[in-house]
Structure 1
Amino acid sequence: MGHHHDHPHMDPDSGDRRVTIAIWANGLLTVAQIVGGILSGSLALIADALHSFSDMAPLIIAFAARKIARRPADEHMTFGYGRIEIVAALINYTTLILVGFYLIYEGAMRMIEPPEVQGWMVVIIGAAALAIDALTALLTWSMQKNSVNIRALFLHNLSDALASFAVIVGGSLILMYDLRWVDPAITIGIALYILYLAFTEIGGPIRTLMLGFPPDIDGHSVIETICGIEEVQDVHHIHVWQMQEHAIALDCHVVITEKGWQQLETNKAHIKEQLKARFNIAHSSLEFEHVDYVHKDANRYGHE
């Protein structure tokens, strides 16, 4: 059966402030990690810096997307601007995938010929990175539950925190045992985890942009609900999609009996009420067909 959940949403200005703090924190961290990585010779630290920078850029994109998404519909964008956050999430995940593949390549090259690495600097800067990453993840944790855009950022930050912890472990092993191969090995491990997260999550934004059926709604339940209304004989040419992340739309052709045709407005209101109550479909466009003039051999979904 289809279902939906209503979540309390954070005040937009409060959310914007959190993203702004995260942008500045990641910017300062990126600079510190790059300098530390160059001075210490640690590829893992530079890899973590690139990951932090790859977070800062999406944070800026997400911040801009949040602002644009709140613009009302107009003659150019009749559905509004909310879907820009889906686009931002897709850009962020794609960037994460590119960074992941690049780090695997660099790590493999360093595995062949491990460089000298100053373990203490790696540990110190790694610890600072872990603190910033944890702060940024904390800032976005409550926001990511209701936004695919912010969820992409949260997963960036979470993977950053884990990567920073791995960098600290690697620096410690270098200090204690001079295991220089550990640094590029950790780099490859970080990259594989980045790719796992990105490929796991990127399907959602792609599905939405491709106008896919919302994943938490069962299509058969929607059909059964409409056809379960007494004067409805059949339904076809169904389209269900997400106009925005939390705004579901439906349009379809509904075949009405002779008796139902006499009370068309009442039946239409009943169908809309059921769609809203059971599936949170607030925007529905219904085209009615008289049972005697029904579209023959019509497709259940889409058009011929």
Structure 2
Amino acid sequence: MPHDHGHAHMDPASGDRRVALAIWANMLLTVAQIIGGVLSGSLALIADAIHNFSDMASLVIAYGARRIARRPADSAMTFGYGRIEMVAALINYTTLILIGVYLVYEGGMRLIDPPQVAGWTVVILGGVALAVDTLTAGLTWSMQKGSANIRALFLHNLSDALASLAVVGGGALILLYDWRLVDPLVTLAIAGYILFLSIREIGGPIRMLMLGSPPGFDAHAVLDAVRATPGVESVHHAHFWQMQEHAASLDTHVVIDNDAWPRQQQIKEEIKHMLGAQFDIHHSTLELERADDAHSGAALFGRDGGCGH
């Protein structure tokens, strides 16, 4: 089956409140780190504040996408606005990859020349950031199971929480053993984890925006089931895609036997019922062709160049 409907369903307003709370928490952390950096003269704190500001931006993007996605279809967007969440997910995964690449560069430079690190400052502020990042990840954990948009956001916050945990551990090692190499090593480990998660997950939004078939979807099995419908001779020009993340769609031409042509409406209804019951496809456009007038040599998937059918 193309979709997993076991994901948790949450009232949209409740989900919006969770994301809004996460935005406020990250905003307060950003302000606190900027103030702390200015008062202590720590450029590292200000740099981390900028990183947390990027987290807040990802939250704002995800929140805005959630709200826009619920708009009904109109003349400008006849398929609706649901795919805006895929755009938001793509933006957030891309920023994660950029952050990961930057951290690899920064960690490599610090391996060459490990800087002096204030252990207590790292531990205390890392602990505060860990609390906020854990709160944010917790708020979005149950929501991410059914949304690529929120999943990208969750991974953003999870990576931050793990980074904060690693930073606290690194600060402790610096305090105990004055091992300055721990800071760049932890940075490189975090960067590798961020890049692994982001590269693994970014394919989903790209596939959907490219109008790819739903992941895990056996297109041939669906078309075989259509062909097996009594009265159907063949199919061609099939298109599978997702209008929204959990809404598979099919557009195909169905060739009807000459003898069965008087039952064409009944055959169409049988196919649509079968698609919904067996494959969870509830949006299908079926163009029926009589066998005598059917397009010959048509491609099974996509369209032929210049084909009028």
Asked if Structure 1 and Structure 2 have the same fold, meaning a TM-score greater than 0.5 normalized by the shorter chain, the answer is yes
Deviation at 1:5, TM superposition (A): 2.6
Secondary structure at 2:238 match in 1? strand
Match of 2:85 in 1: 85
Match of 1:248 in 2: 248
Once the two structures are superposed, residues 3-56 of structure 1 have per-residue CA deviations (whole angstroms, 9 ceiling, x without a partner) of 65354521111000000001111222234445656848685x667545433321
2:227 maps to a residue whose letter is: C
CA distance in 2, matches of 1:40, 1:112: 24
Match of 1:231 in 2: 231
CA distance in 2, matches of 1:71, 1:295: 39
CA gap 1:114/1:36 in 2 versus in 1, 3 angstroms = farther
Gaps (5+ residues) in structure 2?
305-309
Gaps (5+ residues) in structure 1?
none
Match of 2:137 in 1: 137
Count residues with an aligned counterpart. 303
Question: Which one is further off, 93-102 or 4-13?
Answer: 4-13
Secondary structure at 1:200 match in 2? helix
2:224 maps to a residue whose letter is: E
Match of 1:214 in 2: 214
Question: Which one is further off, 190-199 or 168-177?
Answer: 190-199
Match of 1:199 in 2: 199
CA distance in 2, matches of 1:84, 1:186: 35
Match of 2:272 in 1: 272
Asked if the contact 1:2–1:222 (Cα under 8 Å) also holds between the matched residues in 2, the reply is no
The answer to whether the aligner puts 1:180 opposite 2:180 as a matched pair is: yes
CA distance in 2, matches of 1:158, 1:2: 27
Asked if the contact 2:2–2:215 (Cα under 8 Å) also holds between the matched residues in 1, the reply is no
The 5 A counterparts of 1:1-304 are 4-5=4-5, 7-33=7-33, 39=40, 49-304=49-304
Once the two structures are superposed, residues 216-249 of structure 1 have per-residue CA deviations (whole angstroms, 9 ceiling, x without a partner) of 3211111111111111111110001011112221
Secondary structure at 1:236 match in 2? strand
Secondary structure at 1:250 match in 2? strand
CA gap 1:207/1:5 in 2 versus in 1, 3 angstroms = same
CA gap 1:46/1:156 in 2 versus in 1, 3 angstroms = farther
CA distance in 2, matches of 1:125, 1:257: 73
CA distance in 1, matches of 2:36, 2:143: 32
CA distance in 2, matches of 1:252, 1:30: 52
State the TM-score, normalizing by the size of structure 1: 0.94
Secondary structure at 1:258 match in 2? coil
Secondary structure at 1:242 match in 2? strand
Deviation at 1:135, TM superposition (A): 1.0
Deviation at 1:171, TM superposition (A): 0.1
1:166 maps to a residue whose letter is: A
Question: Which one is further off, 277-286 or 33-42?
Answer: 33-42
Once the two structures are superposed, residues 189-235 of structure 1 have per-residue CA deviations (whole angstroms, 9 ceiling, x without a partner) of 21121111110100000000000000132111111111111111111
Identity level (%): 63
Asked if the contact 2:232–2:256 (Cα under 8 Å) also holds between the matched residues in 1, the reply is yes
Secondary structure at 1:78 match in 2? coil
Once the two structures are superposed, residues 159-179 of structure 1 have per-residue CA deviations (whole angstroms, 9 ceiling, x without a partner) of 111111100110001101111
1:53 maps to a residue whose letter is: F
Deviation at 1:99, TM superposition (A): 1.2
Asked if the contact 1:241–1:250 (Cα under 8 Å) also holds between the matched residues in 2, the reply is yes
CA gap 1:53/1:194 in 2 versus in 1, 3 angstroms = farther
Secondary structure at 2:282 match in 1? strand
CA distance in 2, matches of 1:245, 1:3: 9
CA distance in 1, matches of 2:50, 2:186: 14
CA distance in 1, matches of 2:49, 2:190: 12
Secondary structure at 2:206 match in 1? helix
Question: Which one is further off, 126-135 or 49-58?
Answer: 49-58
CA distance in 2, matches of 1:124, 1:174: 13
Secondary structure at 1:263 match in 2? helix
Deviation at 1:259, TM superposition (A): 2.5
2:232 maps to a residue whose letter is: V
Secondary structure at 2:289 match in 1? strand
CA distance in 1, matches of 2:12, 2:21: 14
Secondary structure at 2:199 match in 1? helix
State the TM-score, normalizing by the size of structure 2: 0.92
Asked if the contact 1:251–1:286 (Cα under 8 Å) also holds between the matched residues in 2, the reply is yes
Asked if the contact 2:240–2:251 (Cα under 8 Å) also holds between the matched residues in 1, the reply is yes
CA distance in 2, matches of 1:3, 1:96: 26
